[in-house]
């Protein structure tokens, strides 16, 4: 799978790219000056050509033209494309997962899990195609029927982030296509190879289902490409995943043209551990949630709020588990924590730990850079850190996209909830307790203020059956399951008069 440069002893991964792309149906990607780096070694995997303004305009126009006929195709027939995509994803799960590992640095188990998530949302969307329900309401006027219908919205612009390069695209695209929309995708400029692969697979699925392949368009590029999507009135919905800063730019620009926005932004997720908690279960859940994907998930656990009476015991257990973590090249067997996204991620992690210590924090374990054989100077690895904090300082209230777990203590449950909710973000949350009153309070209106609230399970690893998203600075959007499909459609209220009279609403007479 890997090659070693005999002079520099650096691991070489680029040789794998052509074979993987070929297996996924891409023989000659558009080469150019946009370098694609692997965080595993820091090497350039390939250089690709970004789309220019004219190409992006053409992609939007193609999607808009395809929408005019795609919206009239019955939803179960539209689902045939998504069904074929699931077939191809199963067939090519290994190749696509390896490409995710090369571009993102995920360990293979997590990469395969991400592709499985794509398959799962495809299955969900196929079933959804027969459940795009509207209500029938009782009319106050005799001889009238009142109902609502749901119609395709238009072109959906998907702007995705590097850490989940394929799953989040699938959440949006599978549902949008079934709803009758067409899609223009601008992936992260760090993960264009996985985007090329998914685009090729979807085009193959469209052809297999005898559908117009123009229903999906791909534009590669940097922030300028995304900005063009954001500002184009032909794009009815912008679904953007990324930082809060990105959302602050995108939201007002889409609102200014009266477009729709679905924003999935930052998460500064916390878990409360109560005196009654099953600590064996809690430790396992906490470690995975805090260090999975090297702490680079929007749902990563970043704050641990522990009852003072059990804090020392829990910290000892966590520190013992952290010291056993194997950090390294994710392609090597037994590695549990892969690389950070790059040097800038390590700098943010280092600076955040320094600020936390300046605020009185105690570094319990980890937090140091790790040297990995075969990694070049542009690759960065770090041992996940646990920092015990005296209170919730400004650095704790910020989201540092790195594997840092801040530990706070509490004495009464109201204080725990206040600490939990005392941050600007509101994505995912958890409580570990065997006390039913505590768990119910955590899920109540005056409990967790997050879009996701879990009991006795970590903050990460959401299933596609539920709606995914958060509140406050997280953006308020919902993707994936439940009734998240409504974001991709427009609602019409219909009144049908089947009588020969014309009564007015509210009893108004106009004779």
Per-residue pLDDT reduced to its tens digit, 143-197: 999 999 999 999 999 999 999 999 999 999 999 999 999 999 999 999 999 999 9
Q: Looking at the structure, tell me whether residues 219 and 368 fall in a common domain.
A: no
Q: What percent of the chain has pLDDT over 70?
A: 98
User: Which tens digit of pLDDT belongs to each residue from 427-443?
Assistant: 999 999 999 999 999 99
Task: State residue 36's pLDDT score.
Answer: 96
| Token pair listed for 28 | 């000659």
Please check whether residue 504 lies inside any domain of the structure.
Answer: no
Do the Cβ atoms of 301 and 405 come closer than 8 Å? yes
Q: What is the pLDDT of residue 6?
A: 39
Q: What CATH number is associated with residue 147?
A: 3.40.605.10
How far apart, in Å, are the Cα atoms of 137 and each of 27, 285, 405, 439, 499? 54, 45, 50, 36, 17
Distance CA(319)–CA(145), nearest Å, equals: 64
Shared domain check, 335 and 248: no
pLDDT of residue 306: 98
Does 500 map to a domain?
A: no
How do residues 227-236 score in pLDDT, each as one tens digit?
Answer: 999 999 999 9
Q: How high is the pLDDT of residue 7?
A: 44
Contact 96, 194 (CB under 8 A): yes
- Torsions phi, psi for 84 (to 5 deg): -65, -35
Query: How far is 330 from 104, CA to CA, in rounded Å?
Result: 10
**436: how many CB neighbours lie within 10 A of its CB?**
10
3-state secondary structure of 56: helix
Query: Which residue is it, tokens 């950090």?
Result: 327
Q: Could you tell me if 42 and 81 lie in one domain?
A: yes
pLDDT of residue 27: 85
284 and 308 share one domain:
yes
Same-domain pairing of 343 and 229: no
DSSP 225-275: HHHHHHH-TTEEEEEEES-HHHHHHHHHHHHHTT-EEEEE----EEEEE-T
Within-domain flag for 496 = no
275 in the same domain as 261:
no
User: Does position 3 have pLDDT exceeding 60, yes or no?
Assistant: no
Residue 301 and residue 228 in one domain: no
pLDDT exceeds 90 at position 511: no
The reported pLDDT for the residue numbered 11 is 60
255 and 273 inside one domain: no
pLDDT of 487 > 50? The answer is: yes
Contact 287, 320 (CB under 8 A): no
The strand pair at 362-365 and 385-388 is best described as antiparallel
In a domain, 511, yes or no: no
Task: Please give the span between the terminal C-alpha atoms of the chain, in angstroms, as a whole number.
Answer: 83
**Which residues, in sequence order, are CB contacts of 336 under 8 Å at separation 6+?**
107, 291, 325, 326, 327
> Are 194 and 105 in the same domain?
yes
Is residue 239 over pLDDT 90? yes
Provide the pLDDT for residue 277: 98
Q: What is the pLDDT confidence band of residue 9, given thresholds at 50, 70 and 90? A: very low
Quickly state the pLDDT bin for 311 (edges 50, 70, 90).
Answer: very high
Point out which residues pair with 148 in neighbouring strands: 493
pLDDT digit string, tens, across residues 316-364: 999 999 999 999 999 999 999 999 999 999 999 999 999 999 999 999 9
Domain housing 169: 3-265+475-491
Residue 5's pLDDT band (boundaries 50, 70, 90)? Answer: low
pLDDT confidence of residue 448: 98
Catalytic residue status for 440: no
362 with 394, same domain: the answer is: yes
Q: Answer with the residue of higher pLDDT: 6 or 410.
A: 410
Is residue 497 assigned to a domain?
no
Residue 498 lies in a domain: no
Q: What is the CATH number of the domain that holds 274?
A: 3.40.309.10
* 3-class DSSP string for 122-176: HHHHHHHCCCCCCCEECCCCCCEEEEEEEEECCEEEEECCCCCCCHHHHHHHHHH
The band of 1, judged by pLDDT with boundaries at 50, 70 and 90, is low
Parallel/antiparallel/unpaired status of strands 144-152 and 489-497 = antiparallel
206: tokens are: 């469209």
User: How many domains would you assign to the chain?
Assistant: 2
| 470 within a domain of the structure (yes/no) | no
Rounded CA Rg of the chain:
25
Phi, psi of 215 (to 5 degrees): -65, -15
Q: What is the mean pLDDT of residues 455-474?
A: 96
| List 103, 264, 399, 479, catalytic entry | 264
Contacts for 502 with CB less than 8 Å, ≥ 6 apart = none
Averaged pLDDT of the chain:
96
Nearest to 122 by CA among 78, 154, 157: 78
pLDDT tens track for 187-229? 999 999 999 999 999 999 999 999 999 999 999 999 999 999 9
Q: Does residue 45 form part of some domain?
A: yes
Tell me what pLDDT residue 52 has: 97
Does 249 share its domain with 277? no
Instruction: Taking residues 236-249, report their average pLDDT.
Output: 97
Report pLDDT for 491: 98
Same domain? 441 vs 484: no
How distant, in Å, are the alpha carbons of 103, 271, 476 from that of 458? 26, 8, 21
pLDDT band at 28 (very low <50, low <70, confident <90, very high): confident
């Amino acid at each position: 799978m890997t090659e070693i440069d005999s002079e520099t002893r650096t691991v070489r991964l680029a040789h794998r790219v052509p074979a993987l792309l070929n297996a996924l149906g891409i023989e000659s990607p558009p080469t150019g000056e946009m370098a694609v780096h692997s965080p595993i070694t820091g090497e350039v995997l390939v250089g690709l050509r970004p789309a220019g303004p004219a190409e992006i305009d053409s992609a939007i126009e193609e999607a808009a033209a395809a929408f005019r006929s795609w919206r009239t195709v019955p939803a179960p027939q539209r689902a045939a494309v998504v069904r074929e995509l699931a077939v191809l994803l199963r067939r090519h799960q290994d190749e696509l997962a390896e490409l995710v590992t090369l571009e993102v640095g995920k360990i293979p188990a997590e990469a395969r899990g991400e592709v499985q998530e794509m398959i799962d949302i495809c299955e969900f969307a196929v079933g959804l195609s027969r459940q795009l329900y509207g209500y029938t309401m009782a009319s106050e006027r005799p001889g009238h029927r009142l109902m609502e219908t749901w119609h395709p919205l238009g072109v959906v612009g998907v702007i995705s982030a590097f850490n989940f390069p394929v799953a989040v695209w699938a959440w949006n695209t599978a549902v949008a296509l079934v709803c009758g929309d067409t899609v223009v995708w601008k992936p992260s400029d760090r993960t264009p190879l996985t985007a090329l692969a998914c685009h090729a697979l979807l085009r193959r699925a469209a052809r297999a289902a005898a559908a117009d392949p123009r229903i999906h368009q791909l534009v590669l590029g940097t922030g300028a490409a995304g900005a063009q999507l954001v500002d184009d009135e032909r794009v009815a919905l912008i679904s953007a995943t990324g930082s809060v800063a990105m959302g602050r730019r995108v939201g007002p620009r889409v609102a200014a043209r009266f477009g729709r926005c679905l924003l999935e932004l930052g998460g500064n997720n916390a878990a409360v551990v109560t005196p009654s908690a099953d600590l064996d279960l809690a430790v396992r859940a906490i470690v995975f949630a805090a260090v999975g994907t090297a702490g680079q998930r929007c749902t990563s656990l970043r704050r641990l709020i522990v009852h003072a009476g059990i804090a020392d015991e829990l910290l000892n257990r966590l520190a013992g588990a952290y010291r056993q973590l194997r950090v390294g090249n994710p392609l090597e067997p037994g590695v549990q924590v892969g690389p950070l996204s790059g040097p800038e991620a390590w700098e943010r992690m280092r600076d955040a730990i320094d600020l936390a210590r300046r605020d009185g924090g105690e570094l319990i374990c980890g937090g140091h850079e790790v040297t990995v054989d075969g990694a070049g100077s542009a690759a960065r690895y770090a041992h996940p850190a646990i920092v015990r904090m005296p209170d919730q300082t400004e650095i704790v209230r910020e989201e540092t996209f790195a594997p840092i777990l801040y530990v706070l203590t509490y004495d009464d449950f109201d204080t725990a909830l206040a600490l939990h909710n005392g941050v600007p973000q509101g994505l995912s949350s958890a409580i570990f307790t065997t006390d039913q009153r505590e768990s119910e309070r955590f899920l109540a209106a005056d409990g967790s203020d997050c879009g996701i609230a879990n009991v006795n399970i970590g903050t990460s690893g959401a299933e596609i059956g539920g709606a995914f998203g958060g509140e406050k600075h997280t953006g308020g959007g919902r993707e994936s399951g439940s009734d998240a499909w409504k974001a991709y459609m427009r609602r019409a209220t219909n009144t049908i008069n089947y009588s020969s009279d014309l009564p007015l609403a509210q009893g108004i007479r106009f004779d």
